[in-house]
Amino acid sequence: KKQKYFDKLVDLCVNTPNALIICADFVASTQMQDIRMELRGKAQVLMGKNTMIRKGLDMGHLLHPDAGMDTLRANIRGNIGFIFATNCQLDDIREILGKHVRDSAAKSGQVAKANLSLPAGPTGMDPSQTAFFQALNIGTKIVKGQIELVSEFPILKQGERVSPSSAILLAKLGIRPFQYGMEVEQVFQDGSVFPAAVL
């Protein structure tokens, strides 16, 4: 089974040296399935453990020293995978990936990808739930039987971890502040690896 994986990886690197290196952090399995289905016949998605990928690329480099697999191996970090454009352009793949982005709830301990503020005004929550706001020192008042925020409150700061209290309150308010999908990190083309921004 491992050998089959290595052969496939090496074959794609040599015969279809046109791929996106993607990061699959927080991508749901159904999301992954939808992406694979939409790319069927156009591109080949190859995921795997980094140790397996590195070993496969090492073996491939010995057989095909000019294919750039050593360069590719040096860039294997994090939760990554490859999408080889077997029958389409890289831009077509990017377009499909862009369609499969999902809103996600904030989980405690996650790093916030953007700033988020709760707007002043009614929250739709009843007065029995003021404790969730008090835990974060958010100023509230009760108006017409529901909790209102006195002023705008910055609940998430980019680059900082989401606190348990913030995660609970956002869930109560039905706010899903994050979006997750496969992110293109780098491009592998004809033996070279360069940042996705170049595309």
Q: Over the chain (199 residues), what is each successive 10-residue block's mean pLDDT?
A: 90 92 86 92 92 92 92 88 92 91 88 90 91 91 92 92 93 90 90 81
Q: Looking at residue 29, what is its pLDDT?
A: 84
The residue whose two tokens read 């108006």 is: 143
Q: Looking at residue 199, what is its pLDDT?
A: 61
Q: Looking at residue 128, what is its pLDDT?
A: 92
Torsion of the alpha carbons at 25, 27, 33 and 34, rounded to the nearest 10: -120
3-state class of 115 per DSSP? coil
Q: Looking at residue 176, what is its pLDDT?
A: 92
Q: Compute the distance between CA of residue 117 and CA of residue 163 in angstroms, rounded to an integer.
A: 14
CA-based nearest residue to 15, from 86, 75, 94: 86
Which string of b and e fits 167-191 if b means at least 16 CB within 10 Å? bebbeeeeeebbebbbbbbbbbbeb
Task: Please count the CA atoms within 13 angstroms of the CA of 123 that sit on its side-chain side.
Answer: 32
Q: Looking at residue 1, what is its pLDDT?
A: 76
Q: Which residues contact 127 (CB under 8 A, 6 or more apart)?
A: 142, 145, 146, 147
